[in-house]
Amino acid sequence: MTQQAALDKHGPVPLYAQLDEILRSRIASGEWAAGMMVPSENAIARQYGISRMTARGVLNSLADEGLLVRVPGKGTFVAEPKIQTGSTAFHGIRAQLEAQGFATTTRLVRAEQVPATPRLARQLEVPPETELSLIERVRSVDGEPISLHRSWVPTSLASDLIEADVVGEQLCTILARDHHLRATRVTQQLESVPVTEADAELLGLAPGQPVLVLEDTTSNQHGPYEFSRITFRGDRIRLGFTFDLTNGEVRNERVWPTRPA
């Protein structure tokens, strides 16, 4: 068993900060593996010679950060590590995941033509009931669903889109190569919402669990041509955004790390 670090009770660093660093290192090293139950507040307090209140505060802080999961009546567990992704305006989710070394799969849920609802019509600046091509896919990592992608494109701009290989290729690639639809502007909106029953089934979640929803309106010089809604599992995905504001321009300069061994 790994020898446990002791707290320096006479040093300048507060005890809670020392304990926080020790518990983080136990998670990072894999000593406390994902899904493992960690010692109770009382056990940690006894082990490090601190108050139960201090132990509780550190555990709550790590839980708030997503490193631990507190389950009432059962205990505290190490959370599954979240996958870091970013804006889809510069790199598709699939490209980001594969750049990090994740094995991804895509399942086509449906590809069909639908009439534009009032909201879709506003987003795409078309009349209500305009025919749109809807592409709906589930993206998985290592066999586990992590995101649900819905995209709507006016059929007049890409008449054969529902016949395209949207599983083997990224939609943005198909739109650019086959239909000359290349983005010059992307507007995004991010919010956290309870997952619907239908989406919960596709993502392997319980209805009502929190999910992250990222909505994109993609335009070229002629106006909007795609509206997408990506629903991410909030327990598996963390969205990060890094921008370079040099010369007044906003450019995503995120460099995606390789997957940890």
Instruction: Give the residue, 214 or 103, on which the prediction is more confident.
Output: 214
Rounded to two decimals, the pTM is 0.65
CATH of 15-78, one of 1.10.10.10, 3.40.50.150, 1.20.1300.10, 3.30.230.10: 1.10.10.10
Q: What is the mean pLDDT of the chain?
A: 84
**Rounded-to-integer distance, Cα 117 and Cα 14, Å:** 57
Rg (CA), the chain: 23
pLDDT at 260: 39
pLDDT 10s digits, 186-229: 888 888 899 999 999 999 999 888 898 989 999 999 999 999 99
Cβ neighbours of residue 13 closer than 8 Å, sequence gap 6 or more:
none
Q: How confident is the model at residue 2 (pLDDT cuts 50, 70, 90)?
A: very low
Fold of 83-252: Chorismate lyase (3.40.1410)
In this predicted structure, the answer to whether residue 252 has a pLDDT above a threshold of 50 is: no
pLDDT at 241: 63
**Rounded-to-integer distance, Cα 137 and Cα 199, Å:** 11
pLDDT at 224: 96
Say if 15-78 and 83-252 have the same CATH topology. no
* Domain ranges, ordered by start, for the chain: 15-78, 83-252
Residue with tokens 């198909």: 174
148 alpha-carbon distance from chain centroid: 11
pLDDT 10s digits, 5-30: 788 888 899 999 999 999 989 888 88
